[in-house]
Amino acid sequence: MSVILFVVLTAGVGVRAFRDLSRPEAWDYWKELYVSPSLASSLIASADLNGTAGGRPALVISGKIGVASASWFRARVDEAHLAAGDTVLMSSPGGNLGQAIIMGEIIRSRGLATAVGIVDASGKIKPSFCASACVFVYAGGQPRVGVAGSALGVHRFVSSGTVSDPVADTQRTTGMILSYLTRMGVSPSLVEAMSETSDIRWLGPREMTAMNLVTAPSRAP
């Protein structure tokens, strides 16, 4: 009877797992998490970012933010043993908004700094860009370091064609963004800047400072 019960329970779990994985979005999630992540990472032992993080480790991430990037990112932070005051250095065109916000929450909960840039073959930090959803990952940093020459870009978020009520969905998304930015200490004026265009709008240095998006002074790397 014990063997029969075990077989029945195992079969039930297997059927439920198959049903879950038969959904296209589930396959996309598992592929993103375990097979081919859209983000890549590396760890540098001593980052010198505008004199604010000299000698501290930095996790360098680059690529598009995918449907499982938050779980992937949490695992990379754990593997790197980042401590409060260490840095996440990023370069990304954006991607999944919900995942980006979760990544920003992870950064804030760990007390990590953020900066935009890449690392060349010699280990030197170079300017890069962070656009669209990437800006919300950056917003999680405390502080948020400005690397001279790096760019932050925003644009209007639109609902996908699959939602039943695009207007309501846009309102919910806007509310979620405003709530998140408030918690991160970023001015709501960032949302106004986003709403101005569906193309990428690159923010100027003074604008980023006025929005409290960049909180540490910018200096040439």
pLDDT surpasses 70 at 23: no
Give dist(CA 90, CA 46) in Å, integer.
16
**Quick check: helix, strand or coil at residue 184?**
helix
> Does residue 17 sit in the same domain as residue 72?
no
Tens of pLDDT along 155-213? Answer: 988 766 566 777 787 788 899 999 999 999 999 999 999 998 889 999 999 999 999 99
What mean pLDDT value characterizes the chain? 84
Q: Which of 17-21, 31-35, 116-120 has the lowest mean pLDDT?
A: 17-21
Look up the CATH number of the domain holding residue 42.
Answer: 3.90.226.10
Are residues 48 and 31 both part of a single domain? Answer: no
Whether pLDDT at 7 is above 50: no
Q: Do residues 10 and 104 share a domain?
A: no
Q: How far apart are the first and last CA of the chain?
A: 69
> Looking at the 3D structure of the chain, how many domains does it have?
2
What's the pTM value of the predicted model, to 2 decimals? 0.83
Helices marked H in 97-165? 97-110, 134-138
Mean pLDDT of 113-136: 93
